[in-house]
Amino acid sequence: MHREIQSWYSPSLNKQMEIVEYGHFGPAILLLPTAAADYLEYERFLLIDSIQKYIDSGKVKVYSINSINNESWLNNKIDGRSKVVRQNQFNNYVYNEVVPFIKGRTSLDTSIYTCGASFGALHAANLFFKNPWAIRGCIAMSGLYDLGAYTKSYWDDDCYWNSPMHYLKDMHNEDHLNTIRSSAHIHFMTGSGDYEDPNGSRFISGLLHHKGIRHNLDVWGYDIKHDWPTWRAMLPYLLESKF
């Protein structure tokens, strides 16, 4: 399997940021780490191994980047306003730096789909719903899509605009909604076992249904826990059955 690491100094985040690329061709999947982890998390926990045959066959080309959650929502040493400012800087990094990088490594016509588990699922959904022109869909596993679950009671307009359960409910811009509706890949998956909250996926599924947005909701059983074996099972199942 082709594997290549690159990095650059991000003007959006004012720090060096690494990215790893797996595969040669296919639509691009951009992985967002689960919490405060780095760009190699999905490799260390063997999720990349679980989807290697789809990478090797060119069904998908995969990229993974660093999280900045430990500089925002998981950083207890800064205030809420500083956290959401860092969140917006991360969004800008993805849209203005990572997306052009992937397009340069593939083609301008390559579709990019965000993918993440746990906290990464919120980022995957948010990056897509905020800018469906740059990101063409999302795969969200075991997530909560109300940012209020992470803000420790802090709230402002920027928090609202990073909380899909809030801004989608109030979204009436038909151009924006129709661009979301045009996506072939909007997938929400969750288990029902230990430390999973399937209602997080059910709630956003209900909201998307109300907005006329086609998507896939897949709720797995009570034996399916909030852990890496779950995500190593879910992602290859989705790539096999839906891509």
109: tokens are 């016509």
Contact 66, 33 (CB under 8 A): yes
For 154-158, the CB contacts below 8 A with 24+ separation are 154/79, 154/80, 154/81, 154/83, 154/84, 155/80, 156/80, 156/81, 156/84, 158/84, 158/85, 158/87, 158/88
Residues 6+ apart with CB under 8 A from 197: 144, 190
Domain segments of the chain as ranges? 3-242
Q: Under CATH, domain 3-242 is a member of which superfamily?
A: Alpha/Beta hydrolase fold, catalytic domain (3.40.50.1820)
Q: How far apart are CA 233 and CA 106, in angstroms?
A: 27
**pLDDT tens digit sequence for 39-64:** 999 999 999 999 999 999 999 999 99
Whether 157 contacts 126, CB under 8 Å? no
Task: Give the pLDDT score at 107.
Answer: 96
What pTM was computed for the model? 0.97
**Rounded percentage of the chain residues whose pLDDT exceeds 90:** 100
CB-CB contact of 8 with 48 (8 Å): no
Which residue has tokens 């996506």? 183
Q: In the predicted model, what is the mean pLDDT of residues 128-149?
A: 98
pLDDT in the model for residue 191 = 98
Query: Taking Cα atoms as reference points, which of 47, 21, 22 lies closest to residue 33?
Result: 47
Q: In the chain, what is the straight-line distance between the N-terminal and C-terminal CA atoms, in Å?
A: 20
Please report the pLDDT score of residue 229 as a whole number: 98
Instruction: Specify the residue for token string 């430390």.
Output: 195
Model confidence at 242, pLDDT cuts 50, 70, 90, reads very high
Mean pLDDT, to the nearest integer, of 97-113?
97
141 CB contacts (<8 Å, ≥6 apart)?
Answer: 115, 116, 117, 118, 121, 189, 190, 230, 231, 234, 235
Per-residue pLDDT tens over the stretch 183-201: 999 999 999 999 999 999 9
Sign of CA dihedral 43, 188, 146, 98: positive
